[in-house]
């Protein structure tokens, strides 16, 4: 499958390199909202959607606390649908959207593709609907979510020893990596050779996939603040490190917010 990466918006929290590892000083860091566009036999498939046109038109779709702390750039030019058009592709060809989870910085572009079938882990859809507590109401925004989604919880085939959920189109697997949110999954995509795993927010920085690697301190603090379950989150990060150590040559792992996307022949920019 042809796999292209795009950043559907950015977040610019203050803290510079304490956040992203390389922005000098303590001014605005630059965090990506990385998505994938797949050329699948069923049509185009989007993995996550970042921020969309409706977020730019109405920033109140995002909780005030996150507008102030994360400082998202809500620019229609960065919306996935704008970038897909700019690449000469018809957005109506996007037939499926597969979600790692439903946080506001991943689900904002869903409203731009109302004709597409949205695939989501069932546990995540339930948690987003329950709106249980202040953090839940701030991270999961009903304004961003479609009325119906394909909610998956039936087990699929194991993938490099990890369980998966069945349901997304052929060649695409939901790989549960909970802890950031209750239903958080990675999305594994079969490439021409090997696989790409969009690991969502299971870790924020690619350095965390190395045995001794750590994210910058503000990224680590944010990961802890946003976690739904710390033990699950650490177990998911450990699974990713083990996957990379054992199968790093066969699987390219990328995460949403690291401003540096991995250099891999399996990936190109949109
Ligand atoms: Zn995120």
Considering the domain boundaries, does residue 9 fall inside one?
A: yes
Kindly give the distance from the C-alpha atom of residue 56 to the centroid of ligand 1, in angstroms, as a whole number: 17
Considering the domain boundaries, does residue 62 fall inside one?
A: yes
Kindly give the distance from the C-alpha atom of residue 102 to the centroid of ligand 1, in angstroms, as a whole number: 9
User: How much of the chain, in percent, has pLDDT values that exceed 90?
Assistant: 97
Q: What is the pLDDT of residue 212?
A: 82
Q: What is the pLDDT of residue 39?
A: 97
Kindly give the distance from the C-alpha atom of residue 204 to the centroid of ligand 1, in angstroms, as a whole number: 8
Considering the domain boundaries, does residue 71 fall inside one?
A: yes
CATH number at residue 14: 3.60.15.10
Residues 51 and 74 sit within 8 Å (Cβ to Cβ): yes
Average pLDDT of the residues of the chain:
97
Number of domains in the chain: 1
Kindly give the distance from the C-alpha atom of residue 106 to the centroid of ligand 1, in angstroms, as a whole number: 6
Q: Quote the CA–CA distance of 32 and 80 in Å, as a whole number.
A: 13
Position 266 pLDDT exceeds 90 = yes
Average pLDDT for 162-168: 97
Average pLDDT for 167-179: 97
Average pLDDT for 194-216: 94
Average pLDDT for 149-162: 97
Position 260 pLDDT exceeds 90 = yes
Kindly give the distance from the C-alpha atom of residue 170 to the centroid of ligand 1, in angstroms, as a whole number: 26
Q: What is the pLDDT of residue 177?
A: 98
Position 203 pLDDT exceeds 90 = yes
Strands 117-121 and 150-152: parallel
Average pLDDT for 174-195: 98
Q: What is the DSSP string of the chain?
A: -EEEEEEEEEE--B-THHHHS-SSTTSB--EEEEEEEEEETTEEEEE---S-HHHHH-GGGS-HHHHHHH-EE--GGGSHHHHHHHTT--GGGEEEEE-S---HHHHGGGGG-TTSEEEEEHHHHHHHHH--SHHHHHHS-GGGS-S--EEE-SB---BTTB--B--SSTTEEEEE--SSSTT-EEEEEE-SSSEEEE-TTSSSSGGGGSTT----HHHHHHHHHH-S-HHHHHHHHHHHHHHHHHHTTTEEEE-SS-SS----TT-EE-
Considering the domain boundaries, does residue 24 fall inside one?
A: no
Q: What is the pLDDT of residues 36-68, one digit of tens each?
A: 999 999 999 999 999 999 999 999 999 999 999
Position 213 pLDDT exceeds 90 = no
Kindly give the distance from the C-alpha atom of residue 208 to the centroid of ligand 1, in angstroms, as a whole number: 16
Kindly give the distance from the C-alpha atom of residue 223 to the centroid of ligand 1, in angstroms, as a whole number: 9
Q: Which domain holds residue 74?
A: 2-19+30-269
Position 214 pLDDT exceeds 90 = no
Kindly give the distance from the C-alpha atom of residue 256 to the centroid of ligand 1, in angstroms, as a whole number: 6
Q: What is the pLDDT of residues 102-133, one digit of tens each?
A: 999 999 999 999 999 999 999 999 999 999 99
Considering the domain boundaries, does residue 25 fall inside one?
A: no
Kindly give the distance from the C-alpha atom of residue 110 to the centroid of ligand 1, in angstroms, as a whole number: 15
User: How much of the chain, in percent, has pLDDT values that exceed 70?
Assistant: 100
Position 211 pLDDT exceeds 90 = no
Considering the domain boundaries, does residue 209 fall inside one?
A: yes
pTM over 0.75: yes
Kindly give the distance from the C-alpha atom of residue 202 to the centroid of ligand 1, in angstroms, as a whole number: 9
Kindly give the distance from the C-alpha atom of residue 105 to the centroid of ligand 1, in angstroms, as a whole number: 5
Residues 103 and 55 sit within 8 Å (Cβ to Cβ): no
Considering the domain boundaries, does residue 244 fall inside one?
A: yes
Kindly give the distance from the C-alpha atom of residue 29 to the centroid of ligand 1, in angstroms, as a whole number: 15
Considering the domain boundaries, does residue 186 fall inside one?
A: yes
């Amino acid at each position: 499958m042809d796999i292209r990466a795009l950043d559907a918006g950015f977040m610019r929290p203050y803290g510079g390199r304490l956040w992203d590892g390389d922005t000098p000083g303590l001014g605005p860091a630059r965090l990506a909202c990385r998505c994938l566009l797949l050329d699948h036999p069923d049509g185009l498939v989007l993995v996550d959607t970042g921020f969309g046109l409706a977020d730019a038109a109405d920033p109140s779709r995002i909780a005030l606390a996150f507008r102030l702390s994360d400082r998202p750039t809500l620019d229609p030019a960065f919306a996935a649908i704008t970038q897909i058009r700019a690449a000469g592709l018809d957005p109506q060809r996007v037939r499926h959207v597969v979600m790692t989870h439903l946080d506001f910085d991943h689900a904002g572009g869903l409203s731009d593709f109302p004709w597409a079938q949205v695939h989501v882990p069932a546990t995540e859809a339930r948690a987003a609907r329950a709106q249980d507590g202040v953090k839940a109401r701030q991270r999961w925004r009903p304004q961003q979510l479609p009325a119906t989604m394909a909610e998956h919880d039936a087990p699929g085939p194991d993938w490099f020893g990890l369980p998966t959920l069945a349901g997304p189109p052929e060649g695409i697997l939901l790989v549960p990596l909970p802890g950031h949110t209750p239903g958080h999954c990675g999305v594994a995509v079969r490439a021409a050779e090997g696989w790409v795993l969009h690991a969502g927010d299971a870790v924020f920085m690619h350095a965390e996939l190395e045995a001794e690697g750590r994210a910058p301190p503000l990224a680590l603090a944010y990961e802890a603040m946003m976690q739904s379950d710390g033990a699950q989150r650490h177990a998911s990060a450990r699974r990713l490190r083990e996957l990379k150590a054992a199968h790093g040559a066969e699987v390219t792992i990328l995460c949403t917010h690291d401003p540096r996307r991995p250099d891999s022949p399996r990936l190109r920019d949109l």
